[in-house]
Amino acid sequence: MTARQIAESVKAGKISALEIAAQALELARTEGAELNAFITLCEDEALQIAEGIDNKVKAGGYGRSLKSREKGETDKTSELAGKPGGLLAGVPVAIKDNICYTGCRTTCGSKILENYIPPYNATVVEKLLEAGAVIIGKTNMDEFAMGSSSETSYFGPVKHPLDKKRSPGGSSGGSAAAVARGIIPLALGSETGGSVRQPASFCGLYGLKPTYGAVSRYGLVAYCSSSDVIAPFARDTEDLALIYRVIAGHDEHDATITSDLDGGNVGINVKKKFKIGIPKQYFAWELSCDVSPVINLAIEALENAGHEFVDISLPLTNKAIAAHYIIAPAEASSNLARYDGVRYGLREGGDKKLKDMYLRTRTEGFGSEVKRRIMLGTYALSAGYYDMYYERACKVREMIRREFIDAFKKVDLIITPTAPTPAFRLGEKLKDPLAMYLCDVFTVPSSLAGVPAVSVPFGAIENPESKINMPVGVQFIAPHLKEASLFQISAILEQLKK
C-alpha cells in the first residue's frame, strides 16, 4: 500500500494502525535484518503511538468515529485533509540514524555514539508525529554520513535489496533499502552531496533533495552545516510530495529556514510542459555504457510528450567535487570536535592526562573514513592554507550557484543522470576514496548551489553476473524553492514509464 492508502484506510477505520505497525516491525526484524538496514528498532514507542492513533480514530479524532459512521450520523468534526494532523495517520516510517528521536538511540553509524540517546526530538520528527506517522526505527548509514555506499558504518554494511552483493548507495543506504524492500512506504535520509538521490537511483526509488532552508535541520547531527538537508524517499511521486508537505516549512529553532516557505504548496500538474536544459558537461563524463541509453530514453519520452529540450552549459561542473571535498571535510572537522569523551558519547582512557583521553576516545571511536575527512578538513583550515583551500573552495561554490541562477533564466528544469553507474559491488570502491567520491559527481553541484533536485527511477539494466535488473535514476534540478516543478516532472515521467 502507498502511504496515502494507509493513512486514508486508518482514518476511515478500515485497517488498524497497530496492525500495520506490528507488520512493519516484523518485516524490519526479518527482511530488514537480512539487508542490515536498521541499527535500532523503536518497537515500544511505535506500538504505543499506533495504539493511540487507533484510539483517536475510534473517538472521531480524524473525522467521524466508526460508530457514528455506522449510524449515519452527521460528521461534527472537520476532517484534517490538507493539514499535517492526519496526512500520515498510521503510516510506518523510518528515519536515518543521524536524526534525533527521544527515547531511541542516535548513533550516526559510529562507535563514538553507540549508546547515545538524545534528550529532544528533531523538528522533522515532531512534524511526522504530529501528522500521525509511526516511526518504527533508525536506519543504518555511512558513519556520520561520510560515504557513498553505506559501508563505513560501525554496524556493518547495508546490502542492496535486489542483490545482496551490491551496495544500496550511501550514505542513506538503510533508509533506501527499507523502502525498496517494502518494509515501509516512506523514510527520511539526509543529503550533503547526494546521499539520498544516489541511493534512490541505485534502489529504484523517488528521492528528493529539498532546497537548502526548506526543511529544518534542527535535530540533524551536523556533518557539513552549509550543505546538509533532511530528505525523503518514497516509491511514487505522490507519496514523495506528501512527506515533503509534512516536513517542510517554518521552524523557530533553525535560523536557516526560508521564512516565507509554504510546505503545503506542492500540487502536481502532469499537463504542464517544461523547457528542460541538457548540460553538456554532465553528458561528456564517462558514463557507464548501461546508464547513458536509459537517460537518453527518458529524454526521448519527454520530448515525444511535448516537452522542449535545449542544450546549456555549466562549465564549473568539473570543479564541484574538488570544492565539495574541501568544504565538507573542513566543516566536519569543526562539527566533530565536540566528540571528545567529556560531555557525551564514548569515553576511553584514564583521567590523568586530558590529552590522552581525547586521543584514545577519538582514535577508537571514529572509523577510518571519518578520520580521513577530519584530517583533510583540519589541514584545509590550518594557518597558511585557509585562503589557499577553504576560502577558494567557497568562492567556487558561489560561482557554481550563480551558474545555476543564469541557467534557470533560460530553462525551467535541468536533466542529468543521477549517478554515473548502477549499483556497484560491496567493497569495490572502499580502498579507492577518489573513486567513491566520484559517485556523487552529478549530485554535488546542485548541493553546493543549494537548489532542489529529485531522482526519478526510469528503466533498469541487467547485471551480467547475477542476471538481476539494476535500477537507473534520472535527475531533475529546479530553481530555488521550486520543488513543485520537480514533483510535476517526476509524476509526468512516472506516467510515461507506465
CA within 13 Å, CB half, 457: 26
Instruction: Name the residue among 147, 57, 46 with its Cα closest to residue 101.
Output: 46
Dist. CA 288–CA 299, nearest whole Å: 17
Residue 495: Cβ within 10 Å count: 12
Do 247 and 3 touch, CB atoms closer than 8 A?
Answer: no
Helix 368-381 vs helix 320-335: crossing angle, to nearest 10: 100
The helix/strand/coil state of 475 is strand
Dist. CA 301–CA 306, nearest whole Å: 9
Catalytic residue among 96, 127, 159, 209: 96
Instruction: Name the residue among 498, 476, 16 with its Cα closest to residue 240.
Output: 476
Sheet of 186-191: strand order equals 38-41, 134-139, 92-96, 186-191, 229-234, 206-209, 453-462, 469-477, 413-417, 275-279, 308-312
DSSP 8-state assignment for residue 166: B
> Known catalytic residue: 409?
no
Catalytic residue among 195, 201, 446, 447: 195
How many helices and strands in the chain, by DSSP H and E? 18, 11
Q: What would the grid cell of residue 487 be?
A: 514533483
Alpha-carbon Rg for the chain, nearest whole angstrom, is: 22
Catalytic residue among 110, 148, 153, 171: 171
Dist. CA 274–CA 282, nearest whole Å: 20
DSSP 8-state assignment for residue 215: B
> Known catalytic residue: 216?
no
Indicate the helix (H) or strand (E) that contains 393.
helix 392-407
10 Å CB burial of residue 355 (0-12, 13-18, 19+) is exposed
> Known catalytic residue: 195?
yes
Instruction: Name the residue among 33, 30, 11 with its Cα closest to residue 22.
Output: 30
Indicate the helix (H) or strand (E) that contains 136.
strand 134-139
Task: Please provide residue 357's backbone torsions phi and psi, each rounded to the nearest 5 degrees.
Answer: -65, -45
Residue with cell 556533518: 223
Dist. CA 403–CA 317, nearest whole Å: 9
Q: What would the grid cell of residue 17 be?
A: 494502525
Relative to beta strand 469-477, strand 413-417 is: antiparallel
Residue 386: Cβ within 10 Å count: 13
Do 123 and 254 touch, CB atoms closer than 8 A?
Answer: yes
Dist. CA 188–CA 67, nearest whole Å: 35
Q: Which residues pair with 456 in a beta bridge?
A: 474
What are the residue numbers of the active site?
96, 171, 195
